[in-house]
């Protein structure tokens, strides 16, 4: 202990200690190299550091993500095992998180890290408890389980995206609180869905609405088809970009409005003039790598900025490797070839939602009617610019 005190005393009297206690420019420069979670901790050192930390946080406006795939070396799912550790390294205070994990590893109806029958021995705390510890208080989290995952490796904007129709895979896309961009989560079941509720969520009568990313779960249950029509009908004539798919289940947020196994919809409504989006439909006539690339290339016409832009791929479980005559990763590769600097994320599901549409500034270009938002054996490829 005495040696430690002997070391601290000269440091406290040194020039370095003076600079780190009084010179804001130097402190801010140092804090820029500290991940956000650690930055929030050191902000309690003194008033100067707190003010510097706040200014640094305001500069961290670039979205980021964490992803993982392949068999885990621990008892946990490969994505679950690295999530907490990787979030510690992130230079961002997330306001919204979109998570997707393969449903073979996570039982979505249980809303926790409960493993499938093949992995019953794996145990973990509830999803709500886990995520509430990992992400900051007030962060909006949307978590779904789906048959297959599309992801880009962690930390590489130019990394090649991969399609995972089997095996463990998952990702969490983290979005900051950005001026001019309003992201509002929504979650409805048969008990809570109404036109008034959709208005409150910003899905109806919202002139600033630009993009809606939505996921319907348990849609195969009796009444699910009618519920889906009830959701999509008010959005049909919207000028917003609508994209998403039919998934297996939701693991976050926990549901308290209806019973386990009931159908519902969850998603994000993106509003604000800075938000831009474009989507194309790879229909059943697109059956080769060349045709897939040609269809994806049509997104170029939207001239969406690359910075702070993500690609989303919502594909049918019937596509992928088998659909392209045993060629793997065809559609993800096509996207990466056309947009090499844009990360791609998405899913393989039981149905697709979307159409050909461009949403930019004050205009919308679309090619849709009342029957073309729902699809089967297709892929909806989407670009979303977050300002």
Q: What is the pLDDT of residues 183-237, one digit of tens each?
A: 999 999 888 899 899 999 999 999 999 999 999 998 888 888 899 988 998 888 8
Whose CA is closest to 334, among 160, 111, 104?
160
Are 162 and 344 within 8 A, CB to CB?
no
Residues in the chain: 387
Q: How far apart are CA 247 and CA 256, in angstroms?
A: 19
Higher local confidence (pLDDT), 368 or 101? 101
CATH architecture type of domain 15-59:
Up-down Bundle (1.20)
pLDDT interval class at 370 (50, 70, 90): very low
| 181-203-235-205 Cα dihedral, nearest 10 degrees | -100
- pLDDT tens figures, 152-187: 999 888 999 999 999 899 999 999 988 889 999 999
Task: Please give the structure tokens belonging to residue 51.
Answer: 């003010």
Higher local confidence (pLDDT), 112 or 261? 261
pLDDT surpassing 50 at residue 113: no
Helices of type H across 194-283: 195-200, 224-232
Compute the C-alpha angle 180/253/207, nearest 5°: 30
**Residue-level pLDDT at 127:** 67
Residues 6+ apart with CB under 8 A from 225: 219
- 357's enclosing H/E stretch is strand 357-360
**Residue-level pLDDT at 243:** 96
pLDDT surpassing 90 at residue 49: no
Average per-residue pLDDT in the chain?
84
Q: How far apart are CA 250 and CA 274, in angstroms?
A: 29
**Residue-level pLDDT at 106:** 58
**Residue-level pLDDT at 88:** 86
Tracing tokens 């621990």 back to the chain, one arrives at 74
**pTM metric for this prediction:** 0.85
Crossing angle of the two packed helices 47-59 and 24-31, in degrees rounded to 10: 50
Task: Please give the structure tokens belonging to residue 96.
Answer: 């919204």
| 237-344-282-167 Cα dihedral, nearest 10 degrees | -120
For the chain, domain boundaries: 15-59, 64-385
- pLDDT tens figures, 72-109: 777 778 888 888 888 888 778 889 999 999 987 554 33
- pLDDT tens figures, 5-45: 444 455 455 777 766 777 778 877 787 777 777 777 777 77
Q: How much is the average pLDDT of 134-140? A: 89
- pLDDT tens figures, 314-350: 999 999 999 999 999 999 999 999 999 999 999 999 9
One DSSP character per residue, 151-209 reads E--TT-TTSPPEEESSS-EEEEEEE---TT-EEEEEEEETTT--HHHHHHTTSSS-TTE
Pair type for strands 275-282 and 209-217: unpaired
pLDDT interval class at 111 (50, 70, 90): very low
Whose CA is closest to 217, among 143, 299, 134?
143
Q: How far apart are CA 193 and CA 171, in angstroms?
A: 28
**Residue-level pLDDT at 324:** 94
Q: How much is the average pLDDT of 132-157? A: 91
**Residue-level pLDDT at 300:** 94
Distance, first Cα to last Cα, the chain: 52
Q: How far apart are CA 225 and CA 170, in angstroms?
A: 28
Q: Which 3 state secondary structure label does DSSP give 279?
A: strand
The alpha carbon dihedral of 369, 371, 376, 382 has a sign of positive
Q: Buried (b) or exposed (e) across 168-191, using 16+ Cβ within 10 A?
A: bbbbbbbbbbbeebbbbbbbbbbe
**Residue-level pLDDT at 137:** 87
174: left (phi over 0), alpha (psi -120 to 50) or beta: beta
């Amino acid at each position: 202990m005495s040696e430690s005190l002997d070391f601290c005393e000269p440091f406290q009297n040194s020039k370095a200690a003076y600079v780190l206690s009084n010179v804001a420019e130097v402190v801010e420069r140092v804090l820029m190299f500290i991940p956000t979670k650690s930055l929030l901790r050191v902000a309690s050192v003194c008033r100067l550091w707190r003010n510097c930390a706040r200014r640094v946080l305001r500069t961290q406006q670039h979205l980021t993500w964490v992803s993982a795939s392949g068999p885990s070396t621990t008892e946990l799912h490969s994505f679950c095992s690295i999530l907490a550790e990787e979030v510690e390294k992130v230079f961002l205070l997330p306001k919204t998180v979109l998570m997707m994990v393969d449903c073979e590893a996570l039982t979505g109806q249980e809303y926790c890290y409960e493993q499938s029958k093949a992995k019953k021995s794996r145990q973990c705390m509830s999803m709500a408890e886990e995520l509430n510890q990992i992400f900051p208080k007030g962060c909006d989290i949307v978590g779904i389980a789906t048959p297959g995952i599309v992801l880009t490796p962690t930390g590489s904007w130019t990394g090649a995206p991969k399609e995972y129709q089997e095996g463990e895979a998952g990702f969490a896309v983290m979005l900051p609180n950005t001026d001019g961009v309003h992201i509002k989560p929504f979650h409805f079941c048969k008990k809570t869905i109404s036109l008034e509720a959709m208005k409150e969520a910003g899905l109806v009568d919202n002139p600033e609405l630009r993009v809606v990313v939505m996921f319907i779960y348990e849609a195969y249950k009796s009444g699910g088809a009618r519920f889906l029509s009830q959701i999509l009908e008010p959005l049909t004539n919207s000028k917003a970009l609508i994209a998403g798919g039919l998934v297996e289940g939701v693991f976050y947020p926990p549901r308290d409005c209806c019973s386990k196994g009931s159908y519902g919809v969850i998603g994000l409504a993106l509003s604000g003039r800075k938000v831009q989006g474009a989507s194309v439909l790879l229909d059943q006539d697109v059956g080769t790598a060349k045709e897939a690339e040609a269809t994806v290339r049509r997104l170029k016409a939207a001239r969406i900025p690359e910075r702070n832009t993500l690609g989303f791929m919502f594909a049918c479980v019937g596509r992928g490797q088998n659909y392209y005559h045993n060629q793997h990763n065809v559609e993800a590769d096509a996207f990466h070839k056309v947009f090499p600097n844009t990360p791609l994320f998405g899913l393989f599901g039981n149905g697709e939602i979307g159409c050909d549409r461009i949403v930019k500034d004050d205009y919308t270009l679309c090619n849709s009617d009342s029957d073309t938002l729902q699809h089967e054996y297709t892929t909806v490829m989407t670009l979303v610019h977050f300002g």
